[in-house]
Structure 1
Amino acid sequence: MADQNPKPFSSLKNTIITGSVILVLGTAGALIAYNSLHKQTNPISNNPDIVEPDNPTPPVQIEEGQRVNLYWLNENLEIIPRTTDLPKAQTQEEVLTNAFDTLLQGSDGEDFSAIPENTQLVNLDVKENGVYVDLSSEFTTGGGSASMIGRLGQVIYTASSLNPESPVWLSVNGEPLELLGGEGLEIEQPMTRDLYEQQYGIE
């Protein structure tokens, strides 16, 4: 009786081992199938090569113009502002340079300019103490006192178009302008809009 056949226990052991192997293989297969399916349905979230850049390139922006007042004269020699679209600029110097380049080309409307033809902008600087405008010698030629006062006003008002309170320092070929024209219109430096109106009574 003590030597009974142990095969029932061995058979049970084999059954347990076989079942465990099948369970492990089944679980592994299920995991593999799940991962494969998940990759197909969510390819971006599982792909480390597809990432958003830290500094994405900004969209291309269309340059817009710069609107500035240029100053002309009407038939009564009154200074008239006209809003003008100019090329976009990055600095005040660029804005005012574009403004003067347009002003010195003359008016194509009903208003007119007292600034002589061929007058050129030699240089323009915007500093803490005002706007410095340097014009060519043509600016001082031709016309009587009314023309001189009118062209001076055009320059003073256009130069201060970004800041109406800004003083304007006016020179011709690098030399401070003290007298304008043959009649000797005295120019105070710096000139402001208020000072211009006080001295010449033109608005």
Structure 2
Amino acid sequence: MGRSRTRKRVSLGILFWIAFILFILVVFLFSRQNIQHVMETTGLLEILQTRLGTGEAEESPDLDRITSPLQPRQEAPDEPLVQPEEPAPPPPEPAPEPEREPEEPREPAAPPEQREPEPRQPEQPPAPETTEETRTARLYYIRVSDDGRINAEAARRNLPVTNAPLTANLRALIQGPTTDELNNGLLNLIPSDTRLLSASVNNRVAYLNFSEEFRFNSLGTEGLIAQLQQIVFTATEFSSVDRVQFLINGEQKEYLGGDGVYIGQPLGRSAFH
């Protein structure tokens, strides 16, 4: 009786497993596509193929990777292809500028003075060139002859017209002969640095006042006579003058030089013949 019960239990168990397997097969056949889709979605099929191909011992499937066919698979978010760059360090703070002393307020520059334009003066035509009026003067210089005689000879000059022609003629005479006159052999025997201080005419007598240098002549008596002759002949060229009274520094002298040439009275041309 015990064996028959055991056999019945075994046969019932086998029948149960056979029925269970058939049930699974039927379910598999009807839900093959869904099962295959679930296995592909969950990656179980790839795991089984990989394990069967490599011959590794089967391990428990990763339960975390198997999901229910009723729930969608939560795929892991794709990792970003580009790693986020680390934020750049903040730029160094600029060094604080030294404090500047406040500048004193400047006074506003005064506006330039506005000047009224000066009226433009009309251009004046250039003054016509004035031709200086001249006159012919006769000045007497000395010519020494071949035999050594001293003679007074007139030289013609063009001098400007003036209100004091006697004074102008005598001062031109004292300055000496021109280059042409020197080349012609004319000499001046009036002492150098002699100055005519004043000249006046009264009663046909010319009063001529000379500086101290007129009193002395390096050529002696002949030189003194020659210088007196030059003055008398030049002064008496004027029709208003007949004789000359010589003065030295405003004083009337009796003689000139150490040899004593007399000048105490007016002298005319006749005194030299």
Q: TM-score, normalised by structure 1?
A: 0.62
Q: How large is the RMSD of aligned CA atoms in angstroms?
A: 2.0
Q: Is the 8 A contact 1:165 1:193 kept in 2?
A: no
Q: Distance in 1 between matches of 2:205 and 2:241?
A: 9
2:202 equivalent in structure 1: 127
Q: Quick check: which has more Rg, 1 or 2?
A: 2
Deviation at 1:107, TM superposition (A): 1.8
Q: Is the 8 A contact 1:66 1:89 kept in 2?
A: no
Q: Distance in 2 between matches of 1:192 and 1:178?
A: 16
Q: In the TM superposition, what whole-angstrom CA distance separates every residue of 1:138-171 from its partner, at most 9, and x where no partner exists?
A: 0111321100100010111111111286121111
Q: TM-score, normalised by structure 2?
A: 0.47
Stretches of structure 1 that go unaligned for 5 or more consecutive residues are: 1-59
| Aligned 1:1-203 pairs, distance under 5 A | 62-75=131-144, 76-90=149-163, 94-108=164-178, 109=182, 110-143=185-218, 144-163=220-239, 166-194=242-270, 196-197=271-272, 201=273
Deviation at 1:79, TM superposition (A): 0.6
Amino acid across the alignment from 2:203 = E
Structure 1 pair 62–161 and aligned structure 2 pair: CA distance change class (3 A): same
- Of structures 1 and 2, the one scoring higher in RCO (CA 8 A, sep 6+) is 1
Q: Distance in 1 between matches of 2:217 and 2:228?
A: 13
Amino acid across the alignment from 2:246 = L
**Identity value in percent:** 29
Q: Is the 8 A contact 1:133 1:159 kept in 2?
A: no
Q: Is the 8 A contact 1:157 1:193 kept in 2?
A: yes
Q: Is the 8 A contact 1:66 1:85 kept in 2?
A: yes
Count residues in correspondence: 136
Q: Which structure 1 residue ranges, 4+ long, deviate > 6 Å from structure 2?
A: none
